[in-house]
Structure formats: structure tokens, C-alpha cells
Amino acid sequence: MNKTDLLEYLKETSSEMTRDNIDEAVLLHFDLVMESYREKPSFYKNLLKYDRFMVALSLLSFSYKDEKVPLSRVKAFCYERGYMSRNSLDSYCSFLSIAGYLDVRLHVQDGRQRSFRPTEKALSNTVQLIKSYLLPSQMISPYDSGLSVVGKNVDLLRVFFRGFAKILEGDFLLDKLLPEAKWILNRDGGHLPMLALYADALRTGSLETGYNVSSYVELSSRLGVSKTHMQRMIKEGQLQGYFKCDKRLVGLSPAFLELMRRAMSIYFAIARVSMELGVDESEVGNEPGGIRCVCER
């Protein structure tokens, strides 16, 4: 599939998902992410900030595409994409190494370079995170029954990241497909603070009637972010027309509901299409190594 066709296919898949009832899939995604988030709130608060999340996905994608790729090449790619400055990239990769998520060592073919590979700890966490997008994506039309079968028989991460590499190369990601959502994503906790607001409003039936600000204390505690951080996000959203604030109530505007549904449909489309591309590229069920897992909870 060439880049033009891939972009159109992603847009078409995302658009079809928004025409279906996406809310149940969004709730499942939120619950699955929160299972991991509760175990390591500080780590995920930083990881899910959009630019850092893209660096982590780039490291995994490059690693699965070429196990001998130098770390410097991935850093250069992320710098060119504008995800982080060079100093921030060095610091973030050092953090991932010290925290036990990235194994960095001298490159066997060039002692001036460093090679890397994600650790078992990193891969285990990645499996759960990828599932939090992939499983909900299978709840929404257009359905692909073949993916559930694939998930039971192959290395999920290898298939996913081989497909995701093509989307990453084309730069067909949420910040480009829906740039107006960037204000939600590139902050502590990534999309979770606004998704938590949306999910709680869904479950209380208050999407159209307003949302009690006092619950932000509980939300900020649950997500490991400050109450001030939540209030600042709401204020920014209010200025952009996504919220209507009145004393202790925050009304979620139709524009905000539409933004969240479109953003999540793009996330789900990327997850599903990554798997489809990975499956099309090669049969990896008999390849040695890697994590083998089922695409089930």
C-alpha cells in the first residue's frame, strides 16, 4: 500500500468508526489504560505526554524493524520530527535505561555508536498498552474478524510495530490528522485527563447537563496530576469553546464530545491498521524470539 492509499485508508477507517457507537470502546480503552496507570502513575503520567509517547513508540518501531539500528538514528528521527530537543532526547533515553525499560550497550559493529533493545519489562508493559487500543478497536465497525484470530497465534508486538512503522514513516498520526487535539495530548497524562472527564460524564449520564468541578480533586488524585493542572486544562478548553463553566459546573460542549470521539477513532484506526499492515507484511507465527501473547484480556 503506497502512502497516499494508506492515508486515505486510515481516514476512511476512522470516519467509519465515528459513525458507529464508539463510546463503549472509549470506556473500555480508558479502563484498560487505567489498570496500568494505577500501578505506576508517575511513569505513565510522563510516558503518555504525546511527544514522549511518540519517542517511545519510535524506539519500539525502529527496534522491531532493525535490531541493529543505532540509538543515534532513532534520536535523529525524533529530533527531526520535533518531538523533543536533542538534550531532552538524551535525558529521556537515559531515564528509560536507568529505569530498566531500555537496554543500551556498545554497538557490535561500531564502537562509537550505541545499540539498544527494549527490555522484557518494557515489552510486558507495551503489550498491555497496545491491547488497550487494539481490543476496543475490534468492537467498532468496520469489523475485521481475522485480527482476533491473528492475535491468538502470533507475536503481537512484532506484527503491530512492523505495521506501525509504515504509519510512522508516513507521519500519519493524530497530531497531523487532528492537529486541534494537540492541546489535549501534549501535557502530563497525555489524553487521560480529558478522557477521564469524558468517561466519567458518560457513566454518570451528565454529558449534556454539566460536570461537577469538585470531582476534579478525585480525578487529579487518580491520575497523579495536580488539581491546578486539571483546572488549567479546563480553562484552556473553555477559551477554545469546548467547555462552558458556571460556578461549580462545567458543561461539555458538543464540540468537545466530537473532538474526543474523533481523536479516539483515529487512535483506534491506527491500532487496527497497524495490525493489518503487519499481518500483510509477513507471517511471523513461527519466528523465534519475542513475546507471544493472545489478543485478549
Distance between CA 115 and CA 146 in Å, rounded? 35
Short-list 188, 240, 166, 256, CA closest to 51 = 188
With beta carbons less than 8 A apart as the criterion, state whether 190 and 133 touch.
no
Band the pLDDT of 146: cuts 50, 70, 90.
Answer: low
The per-residue pLDDT for 233 is 86
Does the 180-259 domain belong in CATH 1.10.10.10?
Answer: yes
Q: 253: which DSSP letter?
A: P
Band the pLDDT of 106: cuts 50, 70, 90.
Answer: confident
The per-residue pLDDT for 260 is 92
Domain edges within the chain: 3-176+261-281, 180-259
Residue type, 85: S
The per-residue pLDDT for 82 is 95
Does residue 153 surpass a pLDDT of 80? no
Q: Which residue has the cell 519466528?
A: 287
Distance between CA 34 and CA 129 in Å, rounded? 10
pLDDT tens column, 6-47: 999 999 999 999 887 899 999 999 999 999 998 998 899 999
With beta carbons less than 8 A apart as the criterion, state whether 95 and 122 touch.
no
Q: What is the mean pLDDT of residues 180-189?
A: 87
With beta carbons less than 8 A apart as the criterion, state whether 226 and 235 touch.
no
Most confident of 106-115, 143-152, 162-171, 177-186: 162-171
With beta carbons less than 8 A apart as the criterion, state whether 26 and 282 touch.
no
Does residue 108 surpass a pLDDT of 90? no
Does residue 169 surpass a pLDDT of 70? yes
Does residue 152 surpass a pLDDT of 50? no
Q: Which residue has the cell 524493524?
A: 65
Distance between CA 83 and CA 81 in Å, rounded? 6
Instruction: Give residue 160's Cα distance to chain centre.
Output: 13
pLDDT tens column, 269-295: 999 999 999 987 755 444 444 433 334
Cell numbers of 40, please?
505506576
% of the chain beyond a pLDDT of 90: 53
Q: Which residues pair with 70 in a beta bridge?
A: 115
Phi, psi dihedrals of residue 272, rounded to the nearest 5°:
-70, -45
Phi, psi dihedrals of residue 68, rounded to the nearest 5°:
-100, 5
Q: Identify the three-state secondary structure at position 117.
A: strand
Strands 243-246 vs 102-106: parallel, antiparallel or unpaired: unpaired
Distance between CA 24 and CA 21 in Å, rounded? 7
Instruction: Give residue 199's Cα distance to chain centre.
Output: 17
Band the pLDDT of 189: cuts 50, 70, 90.
Answer: confident
Distance between CA 54 and CA 36 in Å, rounded? 18
Distance between CA 44 and CA 8 in Å, rounded? 32
Cell numbers of 136, please?
476496543
Q: What is the mean pLDDT of residues 97-104?
A: 95
Q: What is the mean pLDDT of residues 189-217?
A: 77
Burial 156-171 (b: 16+ CB within 10 A, else e): bbbbbbbbbbbbbeee
Considering the chain, what is the average pLDDT of its residues?
A: 85
The per-residue pLDDT for 247 is 67
The per-residue pLDDT for 209 is 66
What does the chain come to in residues?
297
Distance in Å from the first CA to the final CA of the chain: 31
The per-residue pLDDT for 214 is 56
